[in-house]
Amino acid sequence: MSANLMVSACLCCARVAEAQEVESPPLASPIQATAIGLQAGNWLVRARVAGVFPVDETSVIEPIGGRIETPRMLLPDLQIAWFLTEHISLEGQGGVVRTRPRIRDSIIGDFKIGTIGSAAAAASLQYHVLPGRRINPYIGAGVSYSHPIWTEPADGISDFKVKSQMSVMLQAGVDRQLGANWFSNAVVKYLLVPEQVYESGSARFTSGMDMVLVGAGIGYRF
- Residues 52-110: tens digit of each pLDDT: 999 999 999 888 899 999 999 999 999 999 999 999 999 999 999 999 999 999 999 99
Q: Where are the beta strands (DSSP E) in the chain?
A: 43-62, 67-69, 73-83, 88-99, 102-106, 109-112, 114-128, 135-153, 165-179, 182-192, 196-200, 203-221
> What is the reported pLDDT for 24?
39
CATH number of the domain located at residue range(s) 42-221 in this protein: 2.40.160.20
Residue type present at position 104: R
> What is the reported pLDDT for 14?
40
Is the full-model pTM beyond 0.75?
A: yes
> What is the reported pLDDT for 203?
77
> What is the reported pLDDT for 18?
43
DSSP summary character for residue 161? B
Strand partners, 122: 93, 144
Domain boundaries, the chain: 42-221
Q: Distance (Å, rounded) from C-alpha 141 to C-alpha 207?
A: 24
Q: For the chain, list residues with pLDDT below 50.
A: 1-32
> What is the reported pLDDT for 202?
72
> What is the reported pLDDT for 199?
86
> What is the reported pLDDT for 10?
41
> What is the reported pLDDT for 20?
38
